[in-house]
Amino acid sequence: MDGKPTANDLSEIVAADKAHVWHHLFQHKVLEENDPRIIVEGRGMRVWDQNGTEYLDAVSGAVWTVNVGYGRRRIVDAVAEQLMKLNYFAAVNGSIPGAEFAEMLIEKMPGMSRVYYANSGSEANEKAFKMVRQIAHKKYGGKKYKILYRDRDYHGGTIGTMAAGGQIERNMQFGPFPDGFVKVPHCMEYRKDELGLGHLSGRDFGVAAANLIEEVILREGPDTVGALCLEPVTAGGGVITPPEGYWERVQEICRKYDILLHIDEVVCGVGRTGTHWFGYQHYGIKPDFVTMAKGVASGYAAISVCVTTEEVFEMFKSDATDKLDYFRDISTFGGCTAGPTAAIENMKIIEEEGLLENCTAMGARLQGNLRALMEKHQVIGDVRGLGLFVGAELVRDRETREPVSEAEIAQVVAACAAEGVIIGASNRSVPDRNNCLCFAPALIVTEAEIDEITAAVDKALGKVFG
Ligand SMILES: Cc1ncc(COP(=O)(O)O)c(C=O)c1O
């Protein structure tokens, strides 16, 4: 398995792609003059395109997914064996891998007890939203139906999850959205002036940022608010790590007003933040819902889950004679056995190879390297992150914190690719705030590879900003 893959002539594939494939998040005009990039093969941390060009992948499949790296024979074999035995049966019934993975997962999530299978991050979030709405009807006469979401957070691309979308640019031209979703302010310390909290720092800032959520609850009426949905670390909105004291206060506020806490771990879940399996576990929170998708099976199969507590689950089975008294929802492909089979192997790999620890150590090195680059490159205004989920915010001026343009950010990403390293960036999400480079290499990344990533960034910044 060592060495480059052998070159093949993929011109027909390129032609078929250009003629018929509609790429995600992509303005196709450029393909009238250029070829699309087709990723053909991956091994470990590296991928190859149709021309045989090799890239070090610093964003795990571009969107923080392939946590255990490419070419894991063990996952492929387990999935192949399971598919021959039973590929699918609707999850109205049980399956062997479904039961096994649910047990493994719950062992890692003290306080949680039930796993609901679906197949995308958006879908898992929709499941939680539907549960919240049904609870509002069952327990509160339909009144406690509002779902709070945070500025700059993202929960998916369906109309329902976009209604809970804090990235305004993503939502443009897709409205109107359903009612009952209410925005709360973000908690980004680097941009605390925007929140009117410029005078505060550290814990004082964290508590005050959480109190802004309480203000919204009081304005809306606590008896109308059913849930608060937050990312543990905001991902595409600019890698926003929560300030000290924030989560404790958020939890207190939820308890005070009987509001269910929904943590969207679609990006952070299953190892990405290091040390713990989940982002929320860094902050001692007890959520009511945890949704996850990307890293659950590292993209070897499509799977997402909405995990909840026994207390929530119990609310859906009190009266068997009431035909509405259960969660009336199905996800056809939530019954695919490939997902949980791949997820089991994925979790075992993380455990057996000590990848939570590697994630923490390599994340610290990545942040350290990027901070060191701040001396040379004034354009790096802030470096933040948790584990192997790291962002570098680029600004024109460190004093004013004026962001660089999205076009400049795109040039840095392109310059890194020219150096053979694929990095990510916030894009078309928050107006005038799409100025963050994103790094989320697989949890298997080595010191040498981290250094290779930051060396490419160093060169790219030199090229774009001088
Ligand atoms: C935090 C978060 N939640 C939900 C989603 C939606 O996941 P999916 O694209 O699988 O629907 C994403 C996707 O990037 C995400 O970053």
Res. 3 pLDDT band, cuts 50 70 90: low
- Tell me: cis bond preceding 287? Omega within 30 of 0 counts: no
Residue 9 has pLDDT above 90, yes or no: no
Q: Find tokens 């690719």 and name the residue.
A: 417
Ligand 1 centroid distance, CA of 165 (Å): 11
Res. 466 pLDDT band, cuts 50 70 90: confident
Ligand 1 centroid distance, CA of 159 (Å): 13
CA distance 124 to 146: 18
CA distance 168 to 164: 10
CA distance 239 to 393: 9
Q: Over the stretch 388-400, which tens digit does the pLDDT of each residue have?
A: 999 999 999 999 9
Backbone angles phi, psi at 462, to 5 degrees: -60, -45
Pocket test of ligand 1: the residue of 154, 158, 291, 306 to mutate, having most ligand atoms within 8 Å of its CB, is 154
Q: C-alpha dihedral over 119, 125, 128, 133, to 10 degrees?
A: -120
Q: What pLDDT was estimated at residue 2? A: 54
DSSP string over 351-397:
HHTTHHHHHHHHHHHHHHHHHHHHHH-TTEEEEEESSS-EEEEEBS-
SS percent in the chain: helix, strand, coil, step 5: 45, 15, 40
Q: Over the stretch 255-278, which tens digit does the pLDDT of each residue have?
A: 999 999 999 999 999 999 999 999
Ligand 1 centroid distance, CA of 389 (Å): 15
Residues 185-213, mean pLDDT to the nearest whole number = 98
Ligand 1 centroid distance, CA of 374 (Å): 30
Q: Which of 438, 434, 435 is nearest to 453 (CA)?
A: 438
Rounded to the nearest integer, the mean pLDDT of the chain is 97
What ligand 1 atom has the least distance to the C-alpha of 236?
16
Ligand 1 centroid distance, CA of 10 (Å): 31
What ligand 1 atom has the least distance to the C-alpha of 294?
10
What ligand 1 atom has the least distance to the C-alpha of 123?
11
Residues 202-217, mean pLDDT to the nearest whole number = 98
Q: What pLDDT was estimated at residue 289? A: 99
Q: What pLDDT was estimated at residue 312? A: 98
Ligand 1 centroid distance, CA of 320 (Å): 35
What ligand 1 atom has the least distance to the C-alpha of 125?
4
Structure-block tokens of residue 39: 């990723």
Secondary structure element (H or E) that encloses residue 203, with its range = helix 202-220
Ligand 1 centroid distance, CA of 463 (Å): 32
pTM exceeds cut of 0.75: yes
Backbone angles phi, psi at 127, to 5 degrees: -60, -45
Q: Over the stretch 216-249, which tens digit does the pLDDT of each residue have?
A: 999 999 999 999 999 999 999 999 999 999 999 9
Q: What pLDDT was estimated at residue 1? A: 46
Pocket test of ligand 1: the residue of 266, 268, 272 to mutate, having most ligand atoms within 8 Å of its CB, is 266
Residue 5 has pLDDT above 80, yes or no: no
Ligand 1 centroid distance, CA of 63 (Å): 9
- Going by alpha carbons, the residue nearest to atom 4 of ligand 1 is 155
Pocket test of ligand 1: the residue of 126, 129, 155 to mutate, having most ligand atoms within 8 Å of its CB, is 155
> Residues with Cβ within 6 A of ligand 1?
63, 120-122, 125, 154-157, 231, 235-236, 264, 266-267, 293
Measured between its terminal Cα atoms, the distance across the chain in Å is 40
Q: What pLDDT was estimated at residue 8? A: 74
Q: Over the stretch 71-121, which tens digit does the pLDDT of each residue have?
A: 999 999 999 999 999 999 999 999 999 999 999 999 999 999 999 999 999
Task: Please report, as a single letter, which amino acid is at residue 50.
Answer: Q
CA distance 431 to 239: 16
Q: Over the stretch 317-358, which tens digit does the pLDDT of each residue have?
A: 989 999 999 999 999 999 999 999 999 999 999 999 999 999
Residues 286-315, mean pLDDT to the nearest whole number = 98
Pocket test of ligand 1: the residue of 294, 333, 427 to mutate, having most ligand atoms within 8 Å of its CB, is 294
Our separate counts of H helices and E strands in the chain read 13, 15
Pocket test of ligand 1: the residue of 122, 234, 270 to mutate, having most ligand atoms within 8 Å of its CB, is 122
Ligand 1 centroid distance, CA of 394 (Å): 24
Burial status of residue 30 (CB atoms within 10 A of its CB: 0-12, 13-18, 19 or more): exposed
What ligand 1 atom has the least distance to the C-alpha of 156?
6
Question: Taking a C-beta distance cutoff of 8 angstroms, is the pair 68, 355 a contact?
Answer: yes
Question: Taking a C-beta distance cutoff of 8 angstroms, is the pair 454, 373 a contact?
Answer: yes
300-234-201 Cα angle (round to 5): 150
Ligand 1 centroid distance, CA of 156 (Å): 5
CA distance 42 to 49: 9
Residue 7 has pLDDT above 90, yes or no: no
Residue 140 has pLDDT above 50, yes or no: yes
What ligand 1 atom has the least distance to the C-alpha of 157?
11
Domains contained in the chain, CATH given: 11-66+354-465 (3.90.1150.10), 74-352 (3.40.640.10)
Q: What pLDDT was estimated at residue 130? A: 98
Ligand 1 centroid distance, CA of 9 (Å): 34
Question: Taking a C-beta distance cutoff of 8 angstroms, is the pair 303, 88 a contact?
Answer: no
Instruction: State percent of the chain over pLDDT 70.
Output: 98
Residue 162 has pLDDT above 50, yes or no: yes
Pocket test of ligand 1: the residue of 267, 278, 389 to mutate, having most ligand atoms within 8 Å of its CB, is 267
Ligand 1 centroid distance, CA of 266 (Å): 6
Res. 17 pLDDT band, cuts 50 70 90: very high
Q: Which residues contact 458 (CB under 8 A, 6 or more apart)?
A: 373, 376, 377
- Going by alpha carbons, the residue nearest to atom 7 of ligand 1 is 121
What's the chain's length in residues?
Answer: 466
Tell me the longest C-alpha to C-alpha distance in the chain: 71
Q: What pLDDT was estimated at residue 430? A: 94
Name the pairing type of β-strands 146-150 and 181-184. Answer: parallel
Ligand 1 centroid distance, CA of 155 (Å): 5
Structure-block tokens of residue 58: 């610093």
